[in-house]
Amino acid sequence: MIKIDKVQCIVVGAGPAGAACAHVLAKKGIEVVVLERGRKVGEKNVAGFVLFTPVLEYLIPGCREKAPLERNITRFDTIDMDEDYFNVSQRYIYSYRDDPLCFSAFRGKFDPWFAMEAQKAGAELIAGQTVTDLIFDKNRVVGIKTEDEELYADVVVGADGIHSVVAEKTGLKKDPGKMYLIVKEILDLPPDVINQRFRLREGEGCTVEGEFELDVENLVTLYTNKDSVSMALDCVAEDLIDEKAKAHDLLEEVKSHPYLHSLLEGASLREYQAHDETINREPLKPESMYGDGVLLCGEAGKIIDMWGTGVPPSILSGMMAAQTVEMAVQKNDFSKKTLKNYINFLDSTSLWRTMFESGKQEGYNEIIADIMEKSHRRYYDFSRREPYPLWKDIYFQIGKDFTPFFLHWIIAGWLHFSSFCSSLYNKIKKIFKNRYYEWKKDYERKQ
Amino acid sequence: MTDECILTVDEKMATVKIKIDKEAHIIVKKELCRECTKRPCLTICPAENYQWNEKGNELIFNYEGCLECGTCKLICPLDAITWSYPKRGCGVKYRYG
């Protein structure tokens, strides 16, 4: 056990959100300690798991080659069924063949690699210690307690997952809403059998998703890995109780459906897993993501987008939490007043604005789904830090079909020009802001 | 349903690596369970750790086979479950997640 009394920042949880936060903080030279309750990073985590890489690419360029990933997902199959029919539709995206967007992966392999990258950047990791309580000083979080130790910090970042202790002890925990129980299995199949049955090219993979005809509200997902298939069944916990149905028995029922049986016949069970999940269909309440001396990211802050993908938003929120901590360190103020800039940092990314634009659920989802399919990359391109208006995307994908030729060139020209100007303005603003902070630091040092 | 083998929960749990802690991380007030009419824990636990003993009219609970999903705490209607994560790196150790 490394003997440390006080550090600048404690991150609770070494999952994607915590590791991303620690990585960015360490790169910025801020002292950070990550606490993970598992003895090995990733052993407590469960996810589908398909990783959309653009967010990670921003933090670790070349991650598609460096990270331990399974197959390049180029096809997205959707199941639609009723008591009268069963339909599978398949969408193959040509561009993903040479320029992959997403990969299947295992949390037990990805999380340790990602945490190691944070450690290489300079973050300290303490594994096998569970945070049981927080230390307060007049409503401000000043440290954490584990089963064996106490550790103090200027700010605590809670990235400890869906049943977050940090969220609970600070009172930032929200009503979970509809809770889903996921039961999941990793099923072994030889690679050539997977290629043949799922009709895949070498190295490519697919996802199969849809709601099955069961007595409970559910979502079935299958992802092809190199030599196995991950199969998950999400059920609404309340429905399971009302119907007195056991999720693991329903999973067997789903696996024996003729279509899935034809894909999975002869597969042996490698590992069984279970986890809780919430799918966020409500606009997030920003005031419940930060407090005095504390920030929440990832599932601890209920930061999951409306399609249930958790890891890219978690990584994004971890990175923005790190930016907020850096600002707090520069201002030497760790109260809500400075930490509320977390929301501004998140809001400045196109990913966040597209995911959590509030109050426009009906019809909006269809537009977003369409944009997502046509331009996955732009949706996840949050490297543009300036506000990225959604209507620009809508215009280019849909609106331009309805404008006369000459008018389209005027509108498109103006949109590109205004985008360029605002990006230039933000870059100049950033340069001058950094210079101001450096000057202030020098000035204070001389005093 | 086909004639292929349908896996039981015990067969599934045999694939999960668990390091058992000496201390129980979930404590159930079993005296409250007798009054419970719904008993959702018997259905919801993905590892079937909660079972009902008809003869003794009491709940049988084993913390050792816990997958740490956290669902039991949320659905108990009588708040009989004191739930926390296992300590010192004990509990489930997923190899693949």
**Is B97 part of the contact surface with chain A (CB cutoff 8 Å)?**
yes
- Considering the domain architecture, whether residues A11 and A27 belong to the same structural domain is answered as yes
Q: Taking each helix axis as running N to C, give the angle between helix A16-27 and helix A311-331, from 0 to 180 degrees, rounded to the nearest 10.
A: 40
Identify the domain containing residue A297 by its residue range: 6-65+106-174+285-347
Digit-coded pLDDT (tens) for A49-69? 888 887 888 889 899 999 999
- Considering the domain architecture, whether residues A22 and A123 belong to the same structural domain is answered as yes
The pTM of the full predicted model, rounded to 2 decimals, is 0.82
Whether residue A137 lies inside any domain: the answer is: yes
Cβ distance A18 to A163 under 8 Å?
no
Identity of the residue in A46, A181, A271 whose CB atom sits nearest the CB atom of B44:
A181
Query: So where are chain B's domains?
Result: 9-92
Can you name the CATH fold of B9-92? Alpha-Beta Plaits (3.30.70)
Q: What integer is the mean pLDDT of A223-227?
A: 96
Whether residue A444 lies inside any domain: the answer is: no
**Is B78 part of the contact surface with chain A (CB cutoff 8 Å)?**
no
CATH number at residue A167: 3.50.50.60
Query: Which one of A79-93, A356-370, A431-445 scores highest in mean pLDDT?
Result: A79-93
Closest residue by Cα to residue A321 from A339, A305, A333, A303: A339
- Considering the domain architecture, whether residues A267 and A307 belong to the same structural domain is answered as no
Of A230-234, A377-381, A393-397, B47-51, where does mean pLDDT reach its minimum?
Answer: A377-381
Cβ distance A310 to A298 under 8 Å?
yes
Give me A228's structure tokens. Answer: 């196995």
Residue of B nearest to A178 (CA): B74
pLDDT mean across residues, chain A: 85
Question: Using 50, 70 and 90 to split pLDDT, how confident is the model at A279?
Answer: low
Whether residue A81 lies inside any domain: the answer is: yes
Residues of chain B short of pLDDT 70, as ranges, are: 1-5
Q: Look at A66 and A3; give whichever has higher pLDDT.
A: A66
Q: Look at A263 and A353; give whichever has higher pLDDT.
A: A263
Digit-coded pLDDT (tens) for A15-49? 999 999 999 999 999 999 999 999 999 999 999 88
Paired residues of A99 in beta bridges = none
Give me A104's structure tokens. Answer: 């299947």
Cβ distance A301 to A339 under 8 Å?
no
Write phi, then psi, for A224 (nearest 5 degrees): -90, 125
SS3 A53: coil
CATH number at residue A79: 3.30.9.90
- Considering the domain architecture, whether residues A110 and A258 belong to the same structural domain is answered as no
Q: What local confidence, expressed as pLDDT, does residue A394 receive?
A: 63
| CA dist., res. A415 & res. A397, Å (int) | 13
- Considering the domain architecture, whether residues A166 and A114 belong to the same structural domain is answered as yes
DSSP code at position A287: G
A44 contacts on B by Cβ (under 8 Å):
68, 91-92, 94
Whether residue A442 lies inside any domain: the answer is: no
**Is B29 part of the contact surface with chain A (CB cutoff 8 Å)?**
no
Per cent of chain A over pLDDT 70 is 85
Residues 6+ apart with CB under 8 A from A4: A33, A124, A151
Please answer yes or no on whether B97 and A147 come within 8 Å at the CB atom. no
Alpha helix segments (H runs only) across A273-360: 311-331, 336-339, 341-347, 350-356
**Is B71 part of the contact surface with chain A (CB cutoff 8 Å)?**
yes
A239 contacts on B by Cβ (under 8 Å):
none
Whether residue A256 lies inside any domain: the answer is: yes
Q: What is the ipTM for the molecules in this complex?
A: 0.94
Cβ distance A154 to A11 under 8 Å?
no
Q: Which of A258, A277, A296 is where one domain is finished?
A: A277
Q: What integer is the mean pLDDT of A286-308?
A: 81
Q: What local confidence, expressed as pLDDT, does residue A290 receive?
A: 93
- Considering the domain architecture, whether residues A162 and A143 belong to the same structural domain is answered as yes
Please answer yes or no on whether A39 and B4 come within 8 Å at the CB atom. no
Q: What integer is the mean pLDDT of A270-292?
A: 81
Cβ distance A379 to A372 under 8 Å?
yes
Distances (CA, A) of A186 to A48, A103, A148, A180: 10, 16, 35, 19
Residues 6+ apart with CB under 8 A from A122: A26, A27, A29, A32
Paired residues of A207 in beta bridges = A76, A223
- Considering the domain architecture, whether residues A161 and A185 belong to the same structural domain is answered as no
| CA dist., res. A86 & res. A406, Å (int) | 47
Digit-coded pLDDT (tens) for A88-136? 999 888 888 988 888 999 999 999 999 999 999 999 999 999 999 999 9
With a cut of 60, say whether residue A365 has pLDDT above it. no
Q: Which of A221, A251, A277 is where one domain is finished?
A: A277
- Considering the domain architecture, whether residues A42 and A118 belong to the same structural domain is answered as yes
| CA dist., res. A18 & res. A9, Å (int) | 11
Identity of the residue in A42, A130, A240 whose CB atom sits nearest the CB atom of B97:
A42
With a cut of 70, say whether residue A184 has pLDDT above it. yes
- Considering the domain architecture, whether residues A32 and A141 belong to the same structural domain is answered as yes
- Considering the domain architecture, whether residues A215 and A170 belong to the same structural domain is answered as no
CA distance A106 to chain B (A): 5
- Considering the domain architecture, whether residues A292 and A330 belong to the same structural domain is answered as yes
> How many structural domains are present in chain A?
3
Digit-coded pLDDT (tens) for B41-65? 999 999 999 999 988 889 999 999 9
- Considering the domain architecture, whether residues A231 and A203 belong to the same structural domain is answered as yes
B93 contacts on A by Cβ (under 8 Å):
38-40, 43
